[in-house]
């Protein structure tokens, strides 16, 4: 049964989640902004696309800042976010699929070729362009919002009517927890992620080169010039070895010296999903003291350092976003998995339920 979209404040107040207007869709349907709060952490989410619009945490001096990149209004998200994917839940298949085509049980399906001859983040209509049904809740010490999207058979070229439930919640662990649950009417491929860009110094504060990253993976998926996996899983070496904390700027500089533009790499965490969320990555900003810890059940982590030539759009702070102004830690399955049977499977069949959990935990270190 589909969830009912909320329009009023009384039902939301019972759930411990604030709801405010956030503009309208082109057809006049109202868009809402949901504010999830716990001491030391505020997360704002909109039913427009299930987008995370803000994550606010304090620094070591107690000053609070928004540490994810985004826009101030729904109109800006609708007009510009297809370029950036700020804060969006990506589906039906995150990352790339070679040749914009998949085969299931001998039948071939054409997808959108929106990244040269390949598919990137599934193509339009993107999930973040749609209005999701939303319901706030408080349960087990956590406050949050559950969003539901029904993706029809043939949507973006994929077979099967997919019902996706996405739950954001915050609690006393100072973590934003993201739970995914999906079912399908026909065999289909699924790969979901959240595409938030973090800047622990605050959105719009400049590049993230002075912040550090650690990823607990000793392998990554080798990629070709188009960003597609070659099929080889290789040991991490040189600037790609992030098993110990590394300044992001040092790593980017080393990659540029090799002819690259920055990190956009799929780290292999395991050969199958974890049964429970596992610690996989940590980031720190020495200037503010803010920290970010990532735990997930997913077998892969895409680390991306905003390598595109930004410089046009500003965030809520009014400051223009520029190249390397944030980094993404996208928990997911490996790109192009439908063409690599040795990768953890992304095939979902009727009667099965896809489940995945990721936690982004925030903290602060002393000076």
As annotated, the active-site residues are 195, 330
Measured distance CA(273)–CA(348) in Å, rounded: 14
Burial class (CB in 10 A: 0-12, 13-18, 19+), 270: middle
Element (H, E) at 354: strand 354-364
Please name the residue ranges forming H helices in the chain. Answer: 10-14, 74-84, 248-257
Measured distance CA(262)–CA(253) in Å, rounded: 8
| Residues 296 and 178 sit within 8 Å (Cβ to Cβ) | no
- Closest by CA position to 178, among listed 165, 191, 169: 169
Burial class (CB in 10 A: 0-12, 13-18, 19+), 101: middle
Cis bond before residue 267 (omega within 30° of 0)? no
Beta-strand ranges (E) seen in 285-352 are 290-296, 300-304, 327-332, 347-348
Q: How far apart are the first and last CA of the chain?
A: 51
Measured distance CA(343)–CA(14) in Å, rounded: 44
Measured distance CA(225)–CA(230) in Å, rounded: 10
Distances (CA, A) of 167 to 1, 45, 132, 336, 362: 16, 11, 12, 26, 18
């Amino acid at each position: 049964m589909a969830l009912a979209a909320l329009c009023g404040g009384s039902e939301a107040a019972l759930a411990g989640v604030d709801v405010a207007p956030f503009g309208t869709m082109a057809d006049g349907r109202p868009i809402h902004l949901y504010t999830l709060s716990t001491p030391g952490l505020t997360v704002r989410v909109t039913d427009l696309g299930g987008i995370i619009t803000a994550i606010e945490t304090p620094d070591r001096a107690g000053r609070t800042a928004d540490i994810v990149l985004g826009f101030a209004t729904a109109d800006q998200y609708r007009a510009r976010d297809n370029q950036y994917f700020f804060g969006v839940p990506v589906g039906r298949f995150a990352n790339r699929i070679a040749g914009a085509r998949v085969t299931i049980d001998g039948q071939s399906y054409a997808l959108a070729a929106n990244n040269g001859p390949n598919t990137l983040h599934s193509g339009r209509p993107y999930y973040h362009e749609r209005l999701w049904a939303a319901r706030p809740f408080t349960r087990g010490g956590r406050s949050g919002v559950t969003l539901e999207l029904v993706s029809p058979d043939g949507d973006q070229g994929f077979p099967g009517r997919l019902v996706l439930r996405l739950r954001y919640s915050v609690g006393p662990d100072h973590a934003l927890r993201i739970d995914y649950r999906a079912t399908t009417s026909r065999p289909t491929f699924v790969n979901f992620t959240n595409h938030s860009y973090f800047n622990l110094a605050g959105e719009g504060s400049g590049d993230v080169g002075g912040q550090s990253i650690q990823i607990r993976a000793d392998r990554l998926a080798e990629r070709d010039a188009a960003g597609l996996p070659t099929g080889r899983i290789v040991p991490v070496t040189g600037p790609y070895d992030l098993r110990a904390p590394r300044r992001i700027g040092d790593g980017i500089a080393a990659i540029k010296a090799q002819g690259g533009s920055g990190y956009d790499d799929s780290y292999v965490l395991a050969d199958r999903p974890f049964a429970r969320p596992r610690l996989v990555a940590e980031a720190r900003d020495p200037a503010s003291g803010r920290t970010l810890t990532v735990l997930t059940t997913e077998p892969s982590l895409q680390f991306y350092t905003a390598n595109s030539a930004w410089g046009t759009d500003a965030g809520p702070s009014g400051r223009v976003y520029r190249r390397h102004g944030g980094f993404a830690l996208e928990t997911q399955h490996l790109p192009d998995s439908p063409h690599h049977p040795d990768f953890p499977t992304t095939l979902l069949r009727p009667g099965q339920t896809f489940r995945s959990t990721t936690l982004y935990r925030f903290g602060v270190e002393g000076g």
